[in-house]
Amino acid sequence: MDDNELENIRESVIHLVRHTEAAVYSFKRSLAWRNMTKNANASHSLEELGPPMALPYPFLLETIEIFESKLKAQMSAINELEVTVKNKGQSRMDSRHSHPATTSDALSTAISNLHDCLMRVAAKIQELDDKVTALKSRALQEMQQLGVTRDDPFKDASETEQAYRASRREDTLKNYEGIYTTLPERQMGR
């Protein structure tokens, strides 16, 4: 895991813990305010309770800001895809000087747009794979610098994962074989 990612997680946890503590304290204060207003002989004084609660709570405001920033990032990704699809479709329309006349033309345009989108996704996946490979290399170098004399943990994990998938695949095939061998028997019984 990258130092940047660890720092972001750490900040998120601190943020949540701080606001959880404040929410518990605020709940106790609001409950005491409610009890004080209902009972004339309440055990709390105004000095103990502090001023009335300010609404909306700052955590909600911060959460909304975070949500809006994430929403903007997602919207920019959507706009990028829409521009790609629109440009590709527009260039095909311009070459024909009209809208697709037939269903086959529309299907061809849709498939071309889908191809472009898939190519973008493939490029992003390749980018992520490159980042993961770089992080693995960096982690292995750090392990060597620390003097850890262990085999490649990533290779071990990959082999374990492959063995697990192979066993799951064999179990699935056995289940299907069992279904197919009993299927004719069930049909014969009808």
Residue 103 has pLDDT above 60, yes or no: yes
Write down the domain spans for the chain: 160-190
* Separation between Cα atoms, residue 87 and residue 93, nearest integer Å: 10
Q: What is the 3-state secondary structure (H, E, C) of 123-143?
A: HHHHHHHHHHHHHHHHHHHHH
pTM, to two decimals: 0.38
> Which pLDDT value is given to residue 15?
80
Length reported for the chain? 190
* Separation between Cα atoms, residue 176 and residue 183, nearest integer Å: 10
Residue 139, amino acid: A
Query: Per residue in 75-86, is it b (16+ CB within 10 Å) or e — as a string?
Result: eeeeeeeeeebe
Q: What is the mean pLDDT of residues 131-151?
A: 85
Q: Quick one: tokens of 129?
A: 């794979």
pLDDT in tens, 150-186: 778 888 888 888 888 888 888 777 776 766 565 555 5
